[in-house]
Structure 1
């Protein structure tokens, strides 16, 4: 089977499913521009702002829960999971079925060349202060109030 035909068929299916009225050529041009921006390090102004962490368009998010992996992706300025607009915390809560710390449970990958990295590690790298283990922070807080 010709792979180009397979890709165009999948593109057509996804566009119809989302009622996207752009032409295939328009979507392919957008995809090529975004791919070049990611591959060749050109800055992109589209992305999702998660507190102090900026997730550029195309960033993938993953939660592993009970042996299964769940994925979301930044599309434009939105975080999308299974075709729905979500926030990191609402997505973590929906996947796990209870209130979760999204920073701890979500792993990020900004492009296919990077390994999956915990969101909390990205957050710590973006902040000024090094990250302290939670137990030590609580212990210090208790002692300072005594």
Structure 2
């Protein structure tokens, strides 16, 4: 699989076009481009390539592809676990608090600041819930 870099605005648009949490960004792009649904072989290859390195912070493992979200001063921010780090606005972070500080400009407990959606689940949780 080939990786491509996209800016945050494009990522946000792809995320907004997902009809459900189960729909991937790749499926959105295939739909926009008018491509047919992938075959079982294509799906297997995509699944294998999506198994990147998880991100581990304070003993909690977030699988590759885990989505993060928060709202600060009325604006929603999103992030995703990619190859061993939390990526927010194209920048990699080693802790949830560092990512939160980048948004707020102030010291903040990232464990209370962020919610996450682990792949193949349907319920958003504050990441602090996962430390218990």
Q: TM-score range, shorter-chain basis? A: 0.5 to 0.7
Give TM-score scaled by structure 1 length: 0.56
Of 79, 86, 110, which residue of structure 2 is paired with 1:102? Answer: 110
Residues 99 and 34 (structure 1 numbering): CA distance in 2 closer, same or farther, change over 3 Å?
A: same
Q: Distance in 1 between matches of 2:118 and 2:75?
A: 21
Structure ranking higher on relative contact order (CA contacts 8 Å, 6+ apart) = 2
Where has structure 1 moved over 4 Å in runs of 4 or more? none
Tell me whether 1:111 sits opposite 2:119 in the alignment. yes
Of 30, 51, 54, which residue of structure 1 is paired with 2:61? Answer: 54
Tell me whether 1:82 sits opposite 2:108 in the alignment. no
Tell me whether 1:69 sits opposite 2:76 in the alignment. yes
1:1-146 equivalences in 2 (<5 Å): 4=30, 6=32, 31-34=46-49, 46-87=53-94, 88-111=96-119, 113-124=121-132
Deviation at 1:98, TM superposition (A): 0.5
Q: Distance in 2 between matches of 1:90 and 1:60?
A: 17
8 Å Cα contact 2:69-2:78 kept in structure 1: yes
Structure 2 residues without counterparts, runs of 5 or longer: 1-28, 35-42
Q: Distance in 2 between matches of 1:45 and 1:5?
A: 24
- Give the 3-state SS of the residue equivalent to 2:122 in structure 1: coil
Residues 66 and 6 (structure 1 numbering): CA distance in 2 closer, same or farther, change over 3 Å?
A: same
Q: Which has the higher helix share?
A: 1
| C-alpha RMSD over aligned residues | 2.9
The size of the alignment, in residue pairs, is 97
Q: Name the larger-Rg structure.
A: 1
Give TM-score scaled by structure 2 length: 0.61
